[in-house]
Amino acid sequence: MSSHLDCALLSAKVYKEYFARIAGIEVLASADKNIIAFAGTDITQPIDVLRDLRILPFYSPQNGLVPIGFLAAARRLGYVVLDHIADNDLESVTLTGHSLGGACAAITASLVNRESPGDNKIREVVTFGCPRVGRLRALECPITQYKFGNDIVTNLPPWPMPRPGKLTRLGDQSKFGDWISDHSMMNYVGALR
C-alpha cells in the first residue's frame, strides 16, 4: 500500500518528469508502478489554462455535474490508466495529483469504475489542492483530499459544487495566509513529512 507522502512526492515530481502527456496532462507512475500521478496546471501551456477556465458544470448521467474541461481530460486519461494496469499486470492502482491533476485523478477514477464496475481497479484517490469536481456517483474507492492552509483552489469553482469527499486540512488555517502560495505542492510535501 502506498503512503500519502509517496503520493505527494510523485505529484510534485510529475511536473518535471513524465512518461506520457495526454490531453495536455503529464502522467508519471511510481517506480513500483502502483501509483499514477497527474500534473496540475502549467501556466506556460495554453491548453492547461483554457481547461481551467472551462469549469462550467456539465451534466454527465454517470457522474452528475462535473466541470466540462476536467471531464474532457479525464476521459482520455482513463485509457492510459487501464493500459498501465494491463501492461504491468496489476490488479489496481492509486491515482493522485495536485490541483488540475487531482481533479483529473478523481474524475478518471470515477470513469474507470464506471467502465469496469466491481473490478476495483482504482485502489484509492489522493488529491492535493484539488478544485471541486462534483459528487462523482461512480467513485467506488476511498478518496482523500488535502487542503494546505488557505489554498484558494479548493474553493473553486466559486459557485456551490459538491466534492466527492471531505477535505483533510494540513498547515495552519487560523492565520491569514497567502491563498496562492498556500497552493504550492511543496507545502503539501512538507506537511506530510
Q: What is the pLDDT of residues 68-85, one digit of tens each?
A: 878 888 989 999 999 999
Query: Rounded CA gap, 164 and 135, in Å?
Result: 4
Q: Helix, strand, or coil here: 19?
A: coil
The whole-model pTM stands at 0.92
Query: Rounded CA gap, 123 and 81, in Å?
Result: 12
Query: Rounded CA gap, 135 and 122, in Å?
Result: 17
Query: Containing domain of residue 134, as a range?
Result: 4-192
> In the predicted model, what is the mean pLDDT of residues 90-95?
97
pLDDT score recorded for residue 52? 64
Q: How many domains does the chain have?
A: 1
Q: What is the pLDDT of residues 165-177, one digit of tens each?
A: 889 999 877 776 6
CATH code for the domain of 119: 3.40.50.1820
Q: Is the pLDDT of residue 102 over 80?
A: yes
Q: Is the pLDDT of residue 47 over 90?
A: no
Q: Are 39 and 63 in contact (CB under 8 A)?
A: no
Q: Is the pLDDT of residue 49 over 90?
A: no
Q: How far is CA 18 from CA 24, 27, 134, 163, in A?
A: 12, 5, 27, 27
The set of cell numbers assigned to 103 is 481533479
Q: How far is CA 115 from CA 3, 79, 120, 138, 168, in A?
A: 26, 10, 11, 10, 29
Going by pLDDT thresholds of 50, 70 and 90, the confidence category of residue 161 is confident
Q: What is the pLDDT of residues 119-146, one digit of tens each?
A: 889 999 999 999 999 888 878 899 999 9
